[in-house]
Amino acid sequence: MSEESTEIIEEVPAIAPGLALALAENEEGPERRRRGPDPLASLRSWQPRTRLGRMVANGEILTYEGAMATGLPIREVEIVDALLPNLTDDVLAVNMIQRMTDSGRRVRFNVLCVVGNSDGYVGLAICKGKEVSSTIRKAIDKAKLNLIPVMRGNGSWESGGGPGTSVPLKITGRSGSTRVTLMPAPAGKGLVIGDYGRRVLTLAGVTDVWSRSAGQTRTTVNFAKATFNALVELNKVRIDESVRSRLSITSGRGEQ
């Protein structure tokens, strides 16, 4: 008489990728000495304070696209860290501001920072503070809460068929007196734009673009903000489904 062996398969509860990475490193124990603070330390001790945060912590939402589809505001940085753990930050400018008061000279710092995953999401923020390190941390957190999906496509007449990682149409962004116009470019052209605009577009996942600028383009803050505002204006354009299919337009991450 043969005995039938039954295997009990336990279902592993779903968990956000950032939380899974944080818990995995915690189980492995201390590794080599890190340079700077651990970016995943806040996730291990995270106590959600909003409805969306509790949904992410309970495994009801596993992607950033799902969090945006709920329509709930993202007010906790840990939500972004849990859903997009591969974000990269870049400090574009650190300016010192001096002000003379009755008690003496007052020194503060102005920090411009951009974050992105180089695959369809980018955020930019500027913060002020008394110390450089804390102000940079605050600017990075604010930029994460200011993430936007980047619309990409193949809008150049010089390109062949198929998807592209350029802007799908001509768009202009403004900040102060600076105006930056982004235009579709064929694959392989690269980012034909100033250094600070190139750094913003690189983290946004745009690899090919023509550009034209006007105004005070030497102003670092305005040039970077104008480039970011061009991507914001791009999301406001209404595009027909037939045009969207013809230009292979995607918004956000290309592969999900």
Burial of residue 4 (number of CB atoms within 10 Å: 0-12, 13-18, 19+): exposed
Distance CA 158, CA 221 (A): 32
> Is residue 122 within 8 Å of 137, Cβ to Cβ?
no
Residues with Cβ < 8 Å from 25, sequence gap 6 or more? 31, 40
Per-residue model confidence as pLDDT tens for the chain (256 residues):
445 544 544 455 688 888 888 878 665 555 544 445 666 788 888 899 999 999 999 999 999 999 999 999 999 999 999 999 889 999 999 999 888 887 788 889 999 999 999 999 999 999 999 999 999 999 999 999 999 999 999 988 887 777 788 999 999 999 999 999 999 999 889 999 999 999 999 999 999 999 999 999 999 999 999 999 999 999 999 999 999 888 888 988 876 5
- The secondary element (H helix, E strand) that includes residue 103 is none
pTM reported for the whole predicted model: 0.87
Set out the domains of the chain in order of their start, with CATH numbers. Answer: 17-83 (no CATH), 88-148 (3.30.160.20), 151-251 (3.30.230.10)
Q: What is the identity of the amino acid at 97?
A: I
Residue 32: what pLDDT? 46
